[in-house]
Amino acid sequence: MRRFGVLLALVSLLVVAPTANASEGLSWQLTTTGSTATLRGLSAVDGPVEIYGDAWFTAAHSWGKFIAQETTFHKRAWFSNFEADQLVDFKQAKFDGVAKLAQSHFGGKVILRGSRFAQPIDLNHSSFRGGLDMSASTTKMADTNGMTIALEMKNELPEGWLIDRTDEGIGLVRT
């Protein structure tokens, strides 16, 4: 098991990655402009990773795939105002602290399949244009005011979530 600290602009984390090494385990390339960050290429965390500090991706933009499968966020995981053009994959991730994806825009598919949320996830005014998979996710509640999904894409939402269809092919999600 390796222990190393990472300070990348808006992201200040202590990461323990049993199967990852420092050169492969974190491959985020961040460029900052003022208080925003841009991730280019494949941004991936290899293997089960635990993030003990707050993870701030507020107003970041991911131009490539963003993969953080089996990642445990022990504290805040803030992806508010986050923009992603391609796949965002949090399959089987654990969010022990506050998880916030409010006002985020996803052009590619978002996978939260099997993820666990200890607190209500904030999805207010977020848009999912490439499909959303939250099948087998565990969440007590979610804030979904203004959350939209593209109806022509495959969407799998937790049991009990409702979709109000609009004339524009967009679904308004309610919990």
pLDDT digits (tens, 9 = 90+) for 148-164: 999 999 999 999 999 99
Q: What is the pLDDT of residue 47?
A: 74
Alpha-carbon distance 125 to 7, whole Å? 29
- At 84, list the tokens: 């992603």
Q: Is the pLDDT of residue 91 over 80?
A: yes
Position 15 pLDDT exceeds 50:
no
